[in-house]
Structures are given as structure tokens and as C-alpha cells.
Amino acid sequence: MNAGGTFGGSVPPSGATGEMPPRTPRPPVDPPSPDPRDELPVSDPLPFERPDAPQRELGPTGRPMPDLPEPRPLTTHGHARVISMCNQKGGVGKTTTAINLGASLAEYGRKVLLVDFDPQGSLSVGLGLNPHEMELTVYNLLMEKDVELSEVVVPTGVEGMDLLPSNIDLSAAEVQLVHEVAREQTLQRVLAPALAEYDVVLIDCQPSLGLLTVNALTASDGVIVPLECEYFALRGVALLKTTIDKVRERLNPKLEIDGVLGTMYDGRTLHSREVMERLVQAWGDRVFHTVIRRTVKFSDSTVAGEPITSYASSSTGADAYRQLAKEVLARWPDA
Ligand SMILES: Nc1ncnc2c1ncn2[C@@H]1O[C@H](COP(=O)(O)OP(=O)(O)OP(=O)(O)O)[C@@H](O)[C@H]1O
Ligand SMILES: [Mg+2]
């Protein structure tokens, strides 16, 4: 992908011709915490992040763009890593990331299961399913003892990528689960049979931090936080981090933040670049080097009911998600 959009934080942009426009005062923004890096487990630093690595061109996050290794081919499948796409703010790119990261991982030979865990059912609709024509959904799997995972999973148009669909029925589960024993572990329990079959399970969360999202975090090894590159996107991130911390302490000690993903980035605006700068200040190396630029192709591909990797295979949006797939595979142990 063309990294483009280089900009200066502490380091001046290469080839800059003039001064940056003067900074105007901005509304105050909630930082996630004084220094969240002190508290959260992260994957080991990658070779390209070593301080002695040769100087590279700055990427859109203001850090040198790494050379991401080509994912190694897999000969066997299983030991799935479970990842939640999580942000209680709506419309930040959770579903778009689940679909397109999933499709890109499948292109790299990974067996992927997408879990639509949002009663809006956008992930299912975005892959061409009709919400009124679903016989069984995640809701049945969660609430009915005799329904098995294999009965609910459906193939998608992408080879190697399956889907656990969802529709508005799932909103009832949030209420009904409250009365269940081990209510936070329900999704983890029903997903257990998938772990031996798939390499990656991506859970698309709804925009809330309620019981469904807590179930998703309890079932996960990692969290990816998509964040729209605009100021108000940073508000509320502290609450998300607190929720992740609580789930880790009380329910799921292995839970990691796999990465924070800047979405709807517009490298032409100082605004987008400043938001990226702040994200890197607050979250350090957990911010993915890959950013997803703003393009209407994403909405077009949703209407078409397929990932951008097949709808517009050579677009910059498709390439960005392929690069993200490489980056997450480089971060994950044994991936
Ligand atoms: N990089 C992008 N550029 C332009 N539009 C985008 C981009 N990513 C997502 N969109 C569009 O923005 C809208 C919201 O995206 P998406 O549904 O992925 O967000 P979400 O976080 O899952 O929302 P919700 O919280 O409602 O589930 C969709 O119409 C989608 O097509
Ligand atoms: Mg969504």
C-alpha cells in the first residue's frame, strides 16, 4: 500500500516543502489513561521495531513503515485465535474490519470464522444474507441447548471464510442471559468446538459495553479497537479500556489488546494526522502501522454484499486490509 500522507510529529516529514499550517486550539480530549502501556500485556516487539533498525519512510502513523513479512503458508488448521472487534462508539468500522480483515486472512490461507455478535446483523447483511431468511442464528446457539455450532455456521462467498449469522433475535439474548449461570461465558462455551477447526475467529461486537460485548471479550484472546480518525473518537476510549481491564481481571486473564486501528483516515487533512499522532502518544506500539483510508468503496461493497477484497480487489481499501492481515499475523504468536 502506498503509505503516503507522511507527517511530522517530533520528526519532520521527508520532502516537506513548507511549514505545517498553524495549529488551532482544539476541544479537550479524554486521553485513555496516563500511560496505558504500563498496564496491558502486548505482543513482543517485532524485529522492525528495534531501535537499531535502519531508517525508513514515515508511515501515516508518524512512525517508520515496517517491511511486513509474507504470512507463512499453513499446512494444518486449528488452535484458532479469537479476536473481538470492539468499540462502544457506533460507525467506526468494526463490521467493515471484521469482513475485510477476515477475507484478507482467508486469502492468506487462514480458515476464518466470522461471528456476527450484533443484533443489527450488519456483518450478515454485509455478506449478502437476508436477515428474515435465517433459520438458525447465534441466538439459537446461545440459548438452545440442542443446537450445535455446525448447524448454524454458513459459508460465505469467500473461500475459507464461514459465518455465524445474526439478526434482531440476538437482542433478546442480552436480557435472557442475565438469568443464566455463568452468563458471561456463554459465547466462549458455544464457540469451543470451532477452535480446533479454524485459525482465526473474528467476533463483530455491537456498539455497547453490555453483556453481549462482555461475552465476546471473555471468549477472546485479543481485541482489535477500530477508531475513526476524528477527535470525538478518542472520547470513551478510557471506558473501553476499563471494561477490557475488568474482563481480564475477573473473567479472562489471557485477554490482550492486539491493536488499535485508525479508520476513515484522510491523509490530506491535518485533523486526521493529528488524531493519529495522539493515538500513537497514548497507545504506542499497539497502534497498527496500517491505517484504513476513507473511501466510498466500503459502502459500495456492503451494498454488493461482499468484501472489498473481491468487490474491488485492486483498490487501496482492499490493499489496506491485506496489509492489516499481514500486520496482525506478524503480531500473533503461532499464526
Ligand atoms: N474506511 C472507510 N471509509 C469510508 N467509509 C467507511 C470506512 N469504513 C467503514 N465505512 C462505512 O462507515 C459505515 C460504518 O461502518 P461499520 O458498519 O463498519 O461500523 P461499525 O463500527 O461496525 O458500526 P456499528 O457500531 O453500527 O456496528 C458503513 O457504512 C461503512 O461502509
Ligand atoms: Mg457494526
Q: Cβ of 45: how many Cβ atoms within 10 Å? A: 10
Return the domain boundaries, the chain.
76-331
Ligand (nearest to CA of 97):
1
pLDDT digits (tens, 9 = 90+) for 1-22: 443 333 333 333 443 344 445 5
Distance of alpha carbon 85 from alpha carbon 260, whole angstroms: 10
Distance of alpha carbon 195 from alpha carbon 201, whole angstroms: 8
Cell of 191: 464457540
Closest approach atom of ligand 1 to CA 264: 1
Distance of alpha carbon 244 from alpha carbon 162, whole angstroms: 27
Q: C-alpha distances in angstroms, 237 versus 86, 180, 263, 324?
A: 11, 29, 15, 21
Q: How far is the CA of 6 from the centre of ligand 2 (A)?
A: 30
Dihedral sign computed on CA atoms, order 63, 296, 132, 168: positive
SS (H, E, C) the chain: CCCCCCCCCCCCCCCCCCCCCCCCCCCCCCCCCCCHHHCCCCCCCCHHHCCCCCCCCECCCCCECCCCCCCCCCCCCCCCEEEEECCCCCCCCHHHHHHHHHHHHHHCCCCEEEEEECCCCHHHHHCCCCHHHCCCCHHHHHHCCCCCHHHHCEECCCCCEEEECCCCCHHHHHHHHHHCCCHHHHHHHHHHHHCCCCCEEEEEECCCCCHHHHHHHHCCCEEEEEEECCHHHHCCHHHHHHHHHHHHHHCCCCCEEEEEEEECECCCCHHHHHHHHHHHHHHHHHECCCCCECCCHHHHHHHHCCCHHHHCCCCHHHHHHHHHHHHHHHHCCCC
Contacts of 298 (CB under 8 A, 6+ apart): 96, 308, 317
Residues having CB within 6 Å of any atom of ligand 1? 90-96, 118, 120, 122, 207, 263-264, 292, 294-295, 298-299, 302
Radius of gyration for the chain, computed over Cα atoms and rounded to the nearest angstrom: 20
Contact assessment for residue 278 and residue 9, using Cβ atoms and an 8 Å cutoff: no
Residues of the chain with pLDDT under 70: 1-55, 333, 335
Q: C-alpha distances in angstroms, 218 versus 187, 248, 287, 333?
A: 8, 8, 22, 20
Q: How far is the CA of 54 from the centre of ligand 2 (A)?
A: 39
Helix axes 211-218, 237-250, angle to 10 degrees: 60
pLDDT value of position 56: 75
Decide: residue 85, CB within 10 A, 0-12 exposed, 13-18 middle, 19+ buried: buried
Q: How far is the CA of 92 from the centre of ligand 1 (A)?
A: 5
Does the domain at 76-331 match CATH 3.40.50.300? Answer given as yes
pLDDT value of position 182: 92
Q: C-alpha distances in angstroms, 94 versus 20, 55, 198, 227?
A: 32, 33, 21, 9
Q: How far apart are the first and last CA of the chain?
A: 22
* Amino acid at position 106, single letter: A
- Residue of the CA atom closest to atom 9 of ligand 1: 93
Q: How far is the CA of 98 from the centre of ligand 2 (A)?
A: 9
Closest approach atom of ligand 1 to CA 226: 21
